[in-house]
Amino acid sequence: MMSTAAQPRPSLSVPTNDIPPEHIIYGRSEAMQIVRLKVEKVATANVPVLIRGESGTGKEMVAKLLHRHSPWASGPFVKVNCPAIPGTLLESELFGYEKGAFTGAYGTKPGRVEMAHRGTLFLDEVGELEPALQAKLLQLLQDGQFCRIGAQEDKKVEVRVVCATNRQLEDEIEAGNFRQDLFYRINVVNIELPPLRERTEDIPELVDYFLHVYGEKYNRPVKPVSPQLMRQLQKHSWPGNIRELENLMKRYVILGSEEAMTDELMARGPEPSYLDPHLPADGSISLKKLTRQAVLELERKVILQVLEANSWDRKRAARALNISYRALLYKIRQAGLPAKRARPQSVSLGELAAEQSAD
């Protein structure tokens, strides 16, 4: 019980009706349909889920969908943004404390784990947890028990744990920053979210949705974006993913100028090259991650050049690259390249039939 001297703490439960419609979240891309199927299968199972993906890909939205479709949907959805809370405070925020546990602990305070009882606990950027907290989280996942700071007895809690990260936790394990046993516990089911550059077919629907939402919010009449701007949006690399697209559409609604959007996209320039990395001041870098990204970037450039050299005849391009046609189609999707070049209006029915049979 909270002491009378303690200030009442506002609820941290988050309603899950504050997210876009599911057809907007999932879109039409094949990669997101795989995500949809996995969410539908795992939502009702009380197992930990690890959601992985770059920053801004919608990991929290997927966590809320898992909660919405779970048997615990009527319970609270409690989010903990691990990097946003200093390490010295995160333990008390997560697990709570007893009166007198430390200087300034004038009352008993339940932590967010306790507040998520019979609901979902969402740990955003779980890779940021310090080793001591990783050990306490492991205990929670193993037996559903935790201990408040300053308490003598463990407390039992029923909670579904969903974690998210934009880090390669395998690299963090090798570096000694993340516990391997905890990784196995949180990674019972893994959901990988693709970056926006790999699902460009979903951009038009996302654009329309954000224009509608912010047009209503700011009470502004909004024109649909022109085909020229839409093509530019689909060519952009989107390092900030859906969050970056949302913010750009918000500015478009406020400013009402396509020219401003075009200038901003051009000013952002191309995505930074992993083939010419800029190391941080301390020289620290994940060699495995950098190598993987550099290989993908190089493959993308080579495939694009070979496709253009062969007039986008993908069978000829596959032979030129000495890989199978199916492997080339996979790599085209992986690189976020369009499936085929824009077709001129004069294309013959025979050419169209030949290409469709090749697919």
pLDDT at res. 269? 55
Cα separation, 33 vs 14, in Å, equals 26
pLDDT at res. 279? 54
Beta bridge partners of 163: 50, 123
The sheet that has 119-124: what strands, in order across it? 77-81, 119-124, 159-165, 49-52, 189-192
**Runs of H (alpha helix) within the chain:** 22-26, 30-42, 59-68, 87-95, 112-115, 131-143, 169-174, 180-186, 203-217, 227-235, 241-255, 258-268, 287-309, 314-321, 325-334, 349-358
pLDDT at res. 147? 80
pLDDT at res. 344? 37
Mean pLDDT of successive 10-residue stretches along the chain, which has 359 residues: 34 56 94 95 95 94 96 95 84 80 72 92 94 91 86 87 93 92 96 94 96 94 90 89 93 87 70 53 64 78 82 86 85 72 41 42
For residue 62, give every residue at least 6 positions away whose Cβ sits within 8 Å of its Cβ, in sequence order, or none. Answer: 25, 35, 39, 51, 191, 193
For residue 250, give every residue at least 6 positions away whose Cβ sits within 8 Å of its Cβ, in sequence order, or none. Answer: 210, 214
Domains of the chain (ranges plus CATH)? 22-192 (3.40.50.300), 199-268 (1.10.8.60), 282-339 (1.10.10)
Q: Is 49 helix (H, G, I), strand (E, B) or coil?
A: strand
Q: At what angle do helices 227-235 and 258-268 cross, to 10 degrees?
A: 20
Please give the model's pTM, rounded to 2 decimal places.
0.70
Q: 312 — alpha (psi -120 to 50), left (phi > 0) or beta?
A: left
Cα separation, 113 vs 121, in Å, equals 7
